[in-house]
Chains A and B, each alone.
Chain A
């Protein structure tokens, strides 16, 4: 008897292994009997099944991610964009899921097709810039909503679809860079021209200020000189007015001294006032 104990225990363990199973916290399962689904197990824990004739299929219960490959779309204004979308989903109905797509790999492919098609349609109805700017959320919401509906057929609940990246194709990028460069060059030119403008303004202002200062000073100095001249004239007039005749005489003598320089030739008649004693000591 004791000899059979290990063998018996092993046989028991084998049957137990065939009849019992656990569903993990992150799983859900479905019992299939001869190809017909019998039970759907959504809660984690220990379960039993009829051995051999019932088989268990396990599915993910967690939120799953599909990160689609970047694809090119055409907008309403005929611009090409590269869109990379991400969808979050989970298996809602294991039976539907099992019968329509069977496994995650295929489910992802189908989902990707659905979303891409919807997105293509939606992209074609919007202008590029609207898409980039404010319509992004709206488009995502519409695509999410519609995909949610269609994916139900696969037993999938789509939580949402997000546009991860929205980019321009490589060759368009190059022209965008060229445009950005031109734009910056324009701004740089403007700054430099503005600098020049203000610099000239300041310089011209300085020159103007200098001219005004100098002219004002000239005015003042001329006025002062005039005053000096005027006062001098008054003084002269007062003094010389006492004897205009004597002034005329002395002043002429002074002038002669100045204007009759060396080398001037003077022709004198012998009977002139100066020489009147030269030939005639008696004078007359």
Chain B
């Protein structure tokens, strides 16, 4: 980590003189026997030499520097280099897949490198971006990457991971800026993702970051929260449209078969009527012909009989007045008191007989 420190070694000469003074003050206190001072010297030398051991863990790569010039890379295991200030080393994890988040941050320290979208928090100034049709859309994206070239990663650019983050943001915004909001939110989503995938790798190479983007994925493509309701309402409207159509189709399903049933009923009724008419007519005809056959045999008698039978059936319930034909031309010869009588039906015979005497007998 020493590389990240500045170069503020103010005045090295002052520092050294101070250390020397310190040492000189301490030396007289040490046991001055020759052997023990040699032992101390050897122990110090061994300690100094021993400081050159270091461990490169699995999935890591060591970079050894001779006088701070990168000279070799070492594989995992226990390694040795010459001690400071001759050689130094850096260890870089090249296997770990890291993750950069654009538009959001995983709150619970995202060690889980995949899918673990437990609790995230949006970063509006990153997430909100302008589309090509002057709308604003909210996007969240993550980039997975790993170190491809440890030397470049260490010495190629300052803050390579920051460069990756910015490059992804630049590519994403540029891709979104080329498309409309509807396209970005629907079928263009994959295209935006692809465009965002290609561009950053070029930049990562150009800026000597030594990083390799392995995966770019759009997590969220949403309208901004300010207008989300309106967008949701569009979805609801779409549902409403389908519902209305379905309801109308339901109406149709209901009405048409009913009409067909009614039609069948009408036709059946008509058939019935027709059959009935014909059969009845035949019956009537049969009857008439039968009677006629008998009638032909004795016309006058039958005619009279039929007539009188009919009269018998009709007459009893009728009010009857028998008037002389001579009175026809005069004023009404009879006051119809029927309406005033309490029981008109009971007394017609008397009135008939009362009227009878006036009736003339001549004919």
A residues near B (Cβ < 8 Å) are: 2, 6-7, 10, 13-14, 17-18, 22-27, 43-46, 58, 60-65, 67, 86, 88, 128-129, 132-134, 136-137, 159-160, 162-168, 173, 176-177, 180-181, 183-185, 187-192, 194-196, 198-203, 205-207, 209-211, 213-214, 216-218, 220-225, 227-229, 231-233, 235-236, 238-240, 242-243, 246-247, 249-250, 253-254, 256-257, 260-271, 274-275, 278-280
Contact with A along B245-270 (1 / 0, CB 8 A): 10111011001101110111011011
Q: Roughly how many angstroms separate A148 CA and B174 CA in the complex, as a whole number?
A: 22
Contact B67 A214 (CB under 8 A): no
21 pairs, A vs B, C-beta closer than 8 Å:
A18-B12, A62-B157, A88-B207, A137-B174, A162-B167, A165-B169, A180-B135, A180-B227, A184-B234, A190-B237, A195-B241, A198-B245, A209-B255, A213-B260, A228-B278, A242-B292, A246-B292, A267-B322, A268-B320, A268-B323, A279-B361
**Which residues on B sit within 8 Å (CB–CB) of A220?**
266-267, 270
The chain B residues found within 8 Å of chain A, CB to CB, are: 3, 7, 12-13, 16-17, 20, 23-24, 27, 34, 65-70, 85, 125, 128-132, 134-136, 151, 154-159, 162-163, 166-167, 169-170, 173-174, 177-178, 181, 203, 206-209, 223-224, 226-227, 230-231, 233-234, 236-238, 240-245, 247-249, 251-252, 255-256, 258-260, 262-264, 266-267, 269-271, 273-278, 280-282, 284-286, 288-289, 291-292, 295-296, 303, 306-307, 310-311, 313-315, 317-325, 336, 356, 359, 361, 363
| Contact among B237, B238, B256, B274 for A206, CB-based, below 8 A | B256
Q: Are B259 and A210 in contact (CB under 8 A)?
A: yes
Q: Which residue of B lies closest to A253 (CB)?
A: B310
Q: B96 to chain A: closest CB distance in Å?
A: 22
Q: Complex formed: what's the CA distance from A190 to B336 in Å?
A: 81
Q: Check if A221 sits within 8 Å of B270, measured CB to CB.
A: yes
- Nearest B residue to A43 via CB reads B69
- Residue of B whose beta carbon sits closest to that of A222: B270
Contacts of A168 in B (CB 8 A): 130, 136
| A270-B307 contact given A163-B170, A210-B256, CB 8 Å threshold | no
Give every chain B residue within 8 A of A23 (Cβ-Cβ): 68-69
Q: In the complex, A204 Cα to B353 Cα: how many Å?
A: 75
Give Cα A17–Cα B67 distance, bound, in whole angstroms: 13
Residue of B34, B65, B125, B237 touching A192 (CB-CB under 8 A): B237
Do B206 and A132 touch across chains, with their CB atoms under 8 A apart?
Answer: no
Contact of A236 among B69, B181, B284 (CB under 8 A): B284
- B252 near A205: Cβ-Cβ < 8 Å: yes
Complex contacts, B136 vs chain A, CB 8 Å? 168, 173, 176-177, 180
User: Chain A's nearest CB lies how many Å from the CB of B272?
Assistant: 9
Q: Complex Cα distance A46/B315, Å?
A: 152
In the bound complex, residues from chain B placing their C-beta under 8 Å from that of A162 are 166-167, 170, 203
Tell me which of A10, A17, A164, A202 contacts B245 (CB under 8 A).
A202
- From B155, B288, B359, give the contact of A270 (CB < 8 A): B359
> Given A63-B156, A133-B132, A188-B236, are A231 and B277 neighbors across the interface (CB < 8 Å)?
yes
Minimum Cβ distance to chain B for residue A279 (Å): 6
Collect the chain A residues with CB atoms within 8 Å of residue B255's CB: 206-207, 209-210
- Complex partner residue of B233 from A136, A188, A210, A233, CB under 8 angstroms: A188
- Given A132-B134, A239-B289, the answer on whether A263 and B267 have CB atoms closer than 8 Å is no
Cβ-closest chain B residue relative to A187 = B234
Q: Do A209 and B234 contact each other (CB < 8 Å), given the known contacts A164-B166, A192-B241, A232-B281?
A: no
- Give Cα A128 to B134, complex, Å: 9
Using known A-B contacts A26-B155, A195-B242, determine if residue A165 contacts B173 with beta carbons closer than 8 Å. Answer: yes
Q: Which of B66, B271, B284, B361 contacts A239 (CB 8 A)?
A: B284
Q: Which residues of A contact B209 (CB under 8 A)?
A: 63
Give the distance to chain B from A159, nearest Cβ to Cβ, in Å. 7
Quick one: given A45-B69, A165-B173, A232-B281, are A65 and B163 in contact (CB under 8 Å)? yes
B275 and A176 contact, CB distance less than 8 A: no
CA distance A201 to B241 in the complex (A): 13
State the Cβ distance, A259 to closest chain B Cβ, in Å. Answer: 10
**Distance to closest chain B CB from A71 (angstroms):** 14
A243 to B, closest residue via Cβ: B292
B13 surroundings in chain A (CB, below 8 A): 14, 18
Chain B residues with CB under 8 Å of A269's CB are 322-325
CA of A165 to CA of B226, assembled, Å: 20
Instruction: Report yes or no: B206 in contact with A160, Cβ–Cβ below 8 A.
Output: yes
Partner of A238, one of B238, B243, B256, B285: B285
Question: Beyond A63-B208, A210-B258, A243-B296: 16 further Cβ-contacts under 8 Å?
Answer: A17-B16, A44-B70, A129-B134, A132-B131, A133-B132, A166-B130, A188-B236, A198-B245, A198-B248, A214-B262, A214-B266, A235-B284, A246-B292, A267-B320, A267-B323, A269-B324
* Cα-based distance from A225 to B233 in the complex (angstroms): 58
B contact residues around A280 at 8 Å (CB): 361, 363
A199 and B247 form a contact (CB under 8 A): yes
